[in-house]
């Protein structure tokens, strides 16, 4: 019986977290496993994309909270530059289950809560890379299947279901009449991120007419409540 030579190669891991102390701890953790090796670590979106493009790691361990940036929109960007052989595992302390489900919907292969400890993260890296399977937290598979069913039944619901939690929050800001600078301040993100996120929203919802078109769509489909 032939064996897959790739199964004997160390799993090449890229770490993305805005806290240096977390990255150092993860490096030390992975160093205890001879079947894994860290090929780089990044604390910003730009550094993460650059390293992913250059190193093309087997697995990227990504935190959803990157300070001024959200890790959610970074997921498809990382997958695009790293290539189809790369898997993303989200390591997060985010409590909102919607954001964790969004990560899976955007292409992550697994979500591990920071409170679960080292063993679960190492097991997730091993399983996702060696078997190609996803690492589901309890209830996640059922929620994702329900999401897919909703998309199939209602075309507009299908579009809306692709919105991330960050994009929903930005639509709410538009509903409150905020401009880009004010949205940036409220959401603690750069104005360039606001512009890029709005462009993604327009594309996903097939919005014509920019902000006004988005506002009309949001009222029509219950994404924001009319001001009384």
Q: Which residue has the tokens 């102390």?
A: 21
Kindly tell me if the per-residue pLDDT of 142 is higher than 80: no
Q: pTM of this prediction? A: 0.65
Whole-angstrom Cα Rg for the chain: 19
pLDDT tier at 121, thresholds 50, 70, 90 = very high
Q: What pLDDT does residue 147 have?
A: 58
Q: What pLDDT does residue 2 have?
A: 39
Write the pLDDT tens digit of every residue in 67-109: 777 788 889 889 999 998 999 999 988 777 778 778 887 889 9
Structural domains of the chain in order of their starting residue, each with its CATH number: 5-140 (3.40.50.2300), 163-219 (1.10.10.10)
Cβ 16 vs Cβ 69: under 8 Å: no
Kindly tell me if the per-residue pLDDT of 1 is higher than 50: no
Q: What pLDDT does residue 3 have?
A: 42
- CB atoms under 10 Å from CB of 27, counted, come to 14
E strands, 77-214, in order:
87-92, 110-113
The structure tokens listed for 24 are 């150092």
Kindly tell me if the per-residue pLDDT of 145 is higher than 60: no
Write the pLDDT tens digit of every residue in 174-193: 988 899 999 999 988 888 88
pLDDT tier at 18, thresholds 50, 70, 90 = very high
Longest dimension (CA), the chain: 71
Q: Which residue has the tokens 């309890």?
A: 138
Q: Could you please report the per-residue DSSP string of 148-169?
A: HHHHHH-HHHHHHHT--HHHHH
Query: Among positive and negative, which fits the CA dihedral 112, 110, 48, 106?
Result: negative
């Amino acid at each position: 019986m032939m064996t897959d030579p790739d199964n004997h190669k160390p799993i090449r891991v890229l770490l993305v977290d805005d806290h240096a102390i977390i990255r150092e701890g993860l490096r030390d953790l992975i160093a205890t496993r001879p079947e894994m090796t860290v090929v780089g670590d990044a604390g910003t979106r730009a550094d993460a994309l650059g390293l992913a493009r250059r190193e093309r790691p087997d697995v990227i361990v990504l935190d959803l909270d990157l300070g001024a940036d959200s890790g959610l929109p970074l997921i498809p960007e990382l997958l695009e530059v790293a290539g189809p052989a790369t898997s993303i595992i989200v390591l997060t302390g985010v409590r909102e289950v919607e954001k964790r489900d969004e990560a899976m919907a955007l292409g992550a292969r697994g979500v591990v809560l920071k409170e679960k400890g080292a063993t679960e993260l190492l097991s997730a890296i091993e399983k996702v890379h060696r078997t190609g399977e996803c690492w589901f937290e309890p209830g996640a598979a059922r929620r994702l299947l329900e999401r897919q069913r909703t998309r199939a039944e209602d075309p507009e619901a299908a579009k809306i279901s692709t919105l991330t939690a960050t994009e929903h929050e930005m639509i709410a800001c538009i509903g409150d009449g905020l401009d880009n600078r004010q949205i940036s301040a409220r959401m603690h993100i750069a104005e360039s991120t606001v512009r890029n996120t709005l462009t993604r929203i327009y594309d996903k919802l097939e919005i014509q007419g920019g902000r006004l078109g988005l506002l009309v769509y949001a009222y029509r489909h219950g994404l924001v409540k009319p001001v009384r």
